[in-house]
Amino acid sequence: MNKPSSPIDLQRFIRDVPDFPKKGILFKDITPLLGDAAAFRSAIAQLADRAAARRPDVIVAIESRGFVFGSAVATTLGRGFVPVRKPGKLPFRSRRVEYALEYGTDALEMHEDAIAPGARVVVIDDLLATGGTAVATGELVRLAGGEVVGCAFVIELAFLGGRARLAPIAIDSLMSYA
C-alpha cells in the first residue's frame, strides 16, 4: 500500500454544513476529504490498518458513503465486500432490520447469503452518530451467522453516544467530535 509520508490532519478536510438535512443538525461533510487524493488515501490506509488488526474475513459497509470507504478497504486488504443497503435496492432475497437514527427511523437490508456462517466481519462507515445504523448492520450480520469483530468509522460524533450502543464490539474512528 502506498502510504503518505507524514500524517495528514484529516479534520481540516471536513466541512460543517448547518441545518442539513434538517434544522438543528450540523452535518459533517466528507466531500472535501474525498476530493483530496492524499487525504483520501490517508483515510483509506488508516481504516485498512485498523480493520486488518481485527483479522476480518469480509468487509461490510453501509449505504451510501460507507461504500466509498468500505470497498476501498476491502480491496486494500484483499477481502470480499458486502453492501448493506436501504430497502428495495438489493436484487436477491434479503433480510431487513429497522432502526432509529438521530433524525428519524429507517431500515437496512443485506442479501441473506452474503455472509458465510462464522465469518469475521468488520463494518465500515463514514460516520458513527447514535449507532443505529451500525447496530442494525451488526444484527444483519448476526442473522446471517457472522460475527462483527470490529467497526471503523471516518468520523465519530462522540456526544451522541453511538460507541456505547455498540459495546462490547471494538470501535475505531479516525476523528472524533466531543
pLDDT in tens, 52-97: 999 999 999 999 999 999 999 999 999 999 999 999 999 999 999 9
Q: DSSP letter at 10?
A: G
In a domain, 111, yes or no: yes
Burial class (CB in 10 A: 0-12, 13-18, 19+), 61: buried
For 11-28, the pLDDT digits (tens) are 999 999 999 988 998 999
Structural domain includes residue 26:
no
Residue type, 157: L
CA-only gyration radius of the chain, Å: 16
Residue 59 lies in a domain: yes
Which residues form the domain of 114? Answer: 55-177
What CATH code is carried by the domain that includes residue 156? 3.40.50.2020
Domain assignment present for 27: no
Let me know if residue 45 belongs to a domain. Answer: no
DSSP reduced 3-state for 116:
coil
Residue 24: inside a domain: no
Average confidence score pLDDT of the chain: 94
C-alpha distances in Å from residue 45, one per residue of 72, 129, 175: 9, 22, 14
Residue 48 in this model has a pLDDT that exceeds 90: yes
Q: Pick the more confident residue, 104 or 63.
A: 63
- State the Cα–Cα distance between residues 144 and 114, nearest whole angstrom: 8
Are the CB atoms for 127 and 175 separated by under 8 Å?
Answer: no
- Whether residue 16 is contained in a domain is answered as no
What is the structure's pLDDT at 92?
97
Q: What is the C-alpha separation between 115 and 113, in angstroms, rounded?
A: 6
pLDDT for the residue numbered 1: 47
Q: Determine the average pLDDT of the residues in 46-53.
A: 98
CB 133 within 8 A of CB 162: no
Q: For residue 18, is the peptide bond before it cis, meaning its omega torsion is within 30 degrees of 0?
A: no
- Decide if 160 is inside a domain: yes
Region 112-138: mean pLDDT is: 96
**Percent of the chain residues topping a pLDDT of 90:** 89
What is the domain count for the chain?
Answer: 1
- The model's pTM: 0.93
Active site residues: 65, 102
Q: Is the pLDDT of residue 3 over 70?
A: no
Burial of 154 (0-12, 13-18, 19+ CB in 10 A): buried
Tell whether the model's pLDDT for residue 37 goes beyond 80: yes
Residue 42: pLDDT over 80 = yes
